[in-house]
Amino acid sequence: MATLLRRIYQSYRYLNEEMADPRTQDFWLIGSPMLFASIIAFYLYFVYKLGPSIMATRKPFNLDKIMQLYNMLQIILCSFVFYKALTLTWLLDYNIYCQPVDFSYSPRALEIARMVWVYFMLKVFDFLETIFFVLRKKQQQVSFLHVYHHTGMTFGTWIAVKFLPGGHIVFLGTVNTFVHVVMYSYYLVTSLRMSRPWWKKYITQLQLTQFCVILVHFVMLMLSEDCGFPKWVAAAMIPQNFFMIMLFGDFYYKAYIKKPKSNKNGVSTEVANGKAKSQ
């Protein structure tokens, strides 16, 4: 038993210390996985158990102003990360087929590593969206797709900061921040009640396009010659993006293509049951 525990501890130290990028070990939430894992665990516990329990006998919170501020912050922060991704990588010497990580201590390499961490913190910031759903008693919006996507993205970006802060995966963050600028702009317009945006379904189309483009990008990595960026990342991300395309595709089909069933009077069963949702 003692030998087994020692091997587990040695394996943990090897992964957490020796395999990790030393440049990012002092970044918040990166040095040890314990605090980060605790945040993930509390997020899941709150949105599925604690939050609904607290709200069961309470009226929904009015979070309009908070959500407007949240949406504006998301737009600003995502725009900033998108701009930095372009100026640090895309507009310089990024190889779309296979881009290695620059593990040097040059100013540019260090700034890329910091921006990957900032992107990771944006994924943690995204958790507030689900918490707002719970506090507003919109539990039906806490779907498997929503929670899985937020949790998976946060976990994946933590691994990126820990081991591979830069290189080929910068493409994912660049595309994703652009999509989020569009998405949170829609949320902001909706929350301000300025108008009813006509482009809601196109956001889902944009998200589907995002996953398709990222899928192709990792397939190119898998098929390319060894450039120094590990191909196990592609082996993990290719099936992951297939899965996300399936989930988002199913959502899009049910929300915008599949016609609701009608009763004998020709009235939608969703409307008849009082379940109609505004689009």
Residues with catalytic annotation?
A: 149
Q: How far apart are CA 87 and CA 46, in angstroms?
A: 38
Measuring CA to CA, which residue among 212, 218, 206 is closest to residue 96? 218
Question: DSSP of 17-34, one letter per residue?
Answer: IISS-GGGTTSTTTS-HH
The answer to whether 188 touches 79, Cβ cutoff 8 Å, is no
Among the listed residues 120, 122, 147, the one whose alpha carbon sits nearest the alpha carbon of residue 48:
147
Asked whether the beta carbons of 106 and 236 are under 8 A apart, the reply is no
- With vertex at residue 241, the alpha carbon angle to CA 239 and CA 243, rounded to the nearest 5 degrees, is 70
Chain center to CA of 257: 25
